[in-house]
A and B are shown apart, each in its own frame.
Chain A
Amino acid sequence: VRRITPAGLVRAGVFLVALVVFPFVFGEHWVLNMLIFTLMYAGLATAWNIIGGYTGYISLGNAAFFGIGAYALAIVFTHTGVGSGYRPFYLLPLLAVGVAIASVPIAWVALRTRAATFAIVTITLLFVVQQLAFNLRGLTGGSQGLTLPIPPFPVAHYERPFYYAMLAALCLSLLVSWYVRGSRLGLHLFAIRDDEDRSRGVGVPVTSAKVLAFSASAGLTAMIGGVWAYYISFVYPQFAVDPLVTIGMVLMVYLGGKGTLWGPVIGAFVLVPAQQYLAYRIGASEYYLVGYAAVFLGIMLVLPRGILPTLADRWRAAQNRPSGPSWRTRKAEAL
Chain B
Amino acid sequence: MHVLLQACILGLLTGAVYALMASGLTIAFGVMRVINVAQGALIILGAYLSYELFVRLQIDPFVSILVLTPLTFMLGVGLQLVFIRPLRSDEREELSLLVTWAIALGIEGVLSVLFSTTYRSTNTSYADNSWVVGGYHLSEVRVFAFALSLGLLGLLFVLLGFTRLGRAIRATVQNPTSARLLGVNGDVVSAIGFGLSVATATAAGAVYGIIFPFNPGSHYDLISRVLSIIVLGGLGSLGGAVVAALFMGVLEAVFAVEISPEWSSFVFFIVLIGMLVVRPQGLFGSTVRGSL
Contacts and interface: CB of A to CB of B under 8 A. Distances in A.
Interface of A: 58, 60, 109-110, 112-113, 115-117, 119-121, 123-124, 126-128, 131, 135, 243-244, 247, 250-251, 254, 285-294, 296-297, 300-301, 304
B3 interface: no
Contacts of A110: 276
A150 to B, nearest CB: 30
Given A121-B272, A124-B272, A127-B224, A301 B231 contact: no
A249 to B, nearest CB: 12
B101 A247 contact: yes
Q: Which 7 A-B pairs have the closest CB atoms?
A: A289-B109, A293-B106, A290-B109, A286-B112, A296-B102, A293-B105, A127-B224
Contacts of B33: 116
Contacts of B265: 127, 131
B106 A294 contact: yes
Nearest to A115: B93
Contacts of B192: none
Interface centre among B83, B87, B231, B262 (most CB of A within 10 A): B231
Nearest to B260: A135
A243 B33 CA distance: 23
A112 B106 CA distance: 32
Nearest to A286: B112
A296 B105 contact: yes
Given A109-B276, A112-B280, A301-B83, A119 B108 contact: no
A289 B220 contact: no
Contacts of A292: 105, 109
Contacts of B97: 58, 60, 116, 119
Contact of A127 (B95, B98, B220): B220
A140 to B, nearest CB: 14
Contacts of A126: 224
B100 to A, nearest CB: 10
A116 B98 contact: no
B103 to A, nearest CB: 7
B4 interface: no
Interface centre among A110, A288, A290 (most CB of B within 10 A): A290
Contacts of A289: 105-106, 108-109, 112
Secondary structure call for the B interface = helix
Contact of B94 (A115, A123, A251, A293): A115
Contacts, number: 114
Contacts of B108: 289
Contact of A300 (B35, B102, B266): B102
B276 A243 contact: no
Interface residues of B, number: 46
A124 B228 contact: yes
A124 B276 contact: no
A246 to B, nearest CB: 9
Contacts of B29: 116
Nearest to A246: B101
A290 B273 contact: no
B134 interface: no
A152 B262 CA distance: 39
Contacts of B223: 123
A287 B280 contact: no
Contact of A116 (B35, B110, B220, B272): B35
B277 interface: yes
B35 A119 contact: yes
A105 B53 CA distance: 49
A135 B94 CA distance: 32
Interface in B250-292: 262-263, 265-266, 268-269, 272-273, 276-277, 280, 282
Interface string B217-233: 00011011001101100
Nearest to B112: A286
Contacts of B43: none
B276 A300 contact: no
B109 A120 contact: no
A273 B282 CA distance: 42
Given A116-B235, A120-B35, A124-B269, A300 B98 contact: yes
A257 B198 CA distance: 32
Nearest to B235: A117
Contacts of A300: 95, 98-99, 102
Contacts of A58: 94, 97
A126 B101 CA distance: 14
10 contacts: A60-B101, A116-B35, A121-B231, A247-B98, A286-B109, A287-B113, A297-B102, A300-B99, A300-B102, A304-B91
Nearest to B105: A293
Contact of B220 (A115, A119, A121, A243): A243
